[in-house]
A and B are shown apart, each in its own frame.
Chain A
Amino acid sequence: RKEVEQDPGPFNVPEGATVAFNCTYSNSASQSFFWYRQDCRKEPKLLMSVYSSGNEDGRFTAQLNRASQYISLLIRDSKLSDSATYLCAVNSWASGTYKYIFGTGTRLKVLA
């Protein structure tokens, strides 16, 4: 089992739709969680951190489920500009150090 797994997609949704992605992680000692956005041929950029109580930033909501070991990202009222790959990242303590492990990303296409 991979340490961090995501459905690669693509998720093709119409503008205005609500879409959700999940990301599962295998290390129960994982400490912190993130969603990054990566546009085509660009570098990843932090979208939002994921806190235990869940957090929201405009149209984006992130949640953490420690019992089932997954994080989720919900995008409401999708815009064309939301089309990108969404990478989850998990920060885990292993072998005496923290390690940032990325999922392979979920590709989102918002269609006009």
Chain B
Amino acid sequence: DTAVSQTPKYLVTQMGNDKSIKCEQNLGHDTMYWYKQDSKKFLKIMFSYNNKELIINETVPNRFSPKSPDKAHLNLHINSLELGDSAVYFCASSQGGVGTYNEQFFGPGTRLTVL
């Protein structure tokens, strides 16, 4: 039973292209996140949605646009891909927002390589 799933698992594309990554959670959680983990393994939050509402929008280029059609889905669209966008992107979810002791459940990650 997959709790948090992401597609695709691998994405190789050329600079300048537009791509999307999809995320779905079947845990019934209220909050979903996108993280970026770079080559130095630093895991940094990009966005957080609570019940389809944007809660956290860190300083990321506006080429990155999250979309939450419902609270079980949070997709990430990236326009005009750049070399520096190459990283692993993790989707995560938690119950009740980034509260006191809410565990985050991560998807398996999408490894994006921009050539």
List residues of A whose CB falls within 8 A of some B CB.
31-32, 34, 38, 42-46, 49, 85, 87, 89, 91, 97-102, 104-105
Contact = CB atoms under 8 A, between A and B. Distances in A.
Nearest to A92: B98
Secondary structure of the A side of the interface? Answer: strand
Q: How large is the interface on B (under 10, 10 to 19, 20 to 34, 35 or more residues)?
A: 20 to 34
Interface string B39-76: 01111110010000001100000000000000000000
B17 to A, nearest CB: 24
B107 A43 contact: yes
Contact of B43 (A44, A46, A97): A44
6 contacts: A38-B41, A43-B108, A49-B103, A97-B55, A98-B97, A99-B56
Given A43-B90, A91-B98, A99 B107 contact: no
A31 B100 contact: yes
A43 B106 contact: yes
A87 to B, nearest CB: 7
Contacts of A45: 106
Contacts of B41: 38, 85, 104-105
Nearest to B111: A41
A89 B97 CA distance: 15
Nearest to A104: B42
Given A44-B104, A98-B99, A99-B45, 14 more contacts: A32-B100, A44-B43, A44-B90, A45-B106, A49-B103, A97-B56, A97-B98, A98-B98, A99-B56, A99-B98, A102-B43, A104-B41, A104-B42, A104-B43
